Amino acid sequence: MPSECKVFNRLPRCVRPKHYNLRLKPDLEEAIFRGWIEISVDVIDDTDVVKMNSVDLEFEHVKVNGKEEKFELDNDNQTMTIKLTNALSGGNSADILCTFTGKLQEKGQESLSRDFKSSVFLP
């Protein structure tokens, strides 16, 4: 019996990313990483939600234009939906800031640990 194949869905196109600023800080003792990402987007159409790809991350805070917003994770579809308090208007831009944590993957972790300990100094 063939296994069920998951249908790929594209993200809505009401916002379009134009710049990403990503910072990651690994914690090798706990085998996790902490992250911060700021995404500058162009708002194409009016919207009161923003949907983003999200795989194996635990989000702590999400802000849009400096305002804390509620969000919902959909692990089955590997997405996060930000539910905006105030809708974004088409023709404008917006800044999305997310803080998150994730687990370091076991595959290659020994190499990652060795490389970071020998060559990278984090504040």
Answer yes or no: is 8 within a domain. Answer: no
* pLDDT value, residue 110: 53
**In 3D, which of 68, 102, 65, 69 has the Cα closest to residue 84?**
69
Provide the CATH number for the domain around residue 26: 2.60.40.1730
Tokens 């991350």, residue located: 57
Answer yes or no: is 109 within a domain. Answer: no
pTM (whole model) above 0.85: no
Answer yes or no: is 31 within a domain. Answer: yes
Question: Which residues are paired to 81 by β-bridges?
Answer: 51, 72
Answer yes or no: is 5 within a domain. Answer: no
Answer yes or no: is 7 within a domain. Answer: no
Taking a C-beta distance cutoff of 8 angstroms, is the pair 47, 14 a contact?
Answer: yes
Distance CA 100, CA 103 (A): 11
> pLDDT tens, 32-90?
999 999 999 999 999 999 999 988 899 999 999 999 999 999 988 889 999 999 999 99
Answer yes or no: is 80 within a domain. Answer: yes
Answer yes or no: is 2 within a domain. Answer: no
Q: How many domains does the chain have?
A: 1
Tokens 């994770």, residue located: 73
> pLDDT tens, 75-110?
888 899 999 999 999 999 999 999 999 998 765 545
Torsion of CA 36, 42, 46, 48, to 10 degrees: 0
Answer yes or no: is 113 within a domain. Answer: no
Q: What domain range is 100 assigned to?
A: 15-104
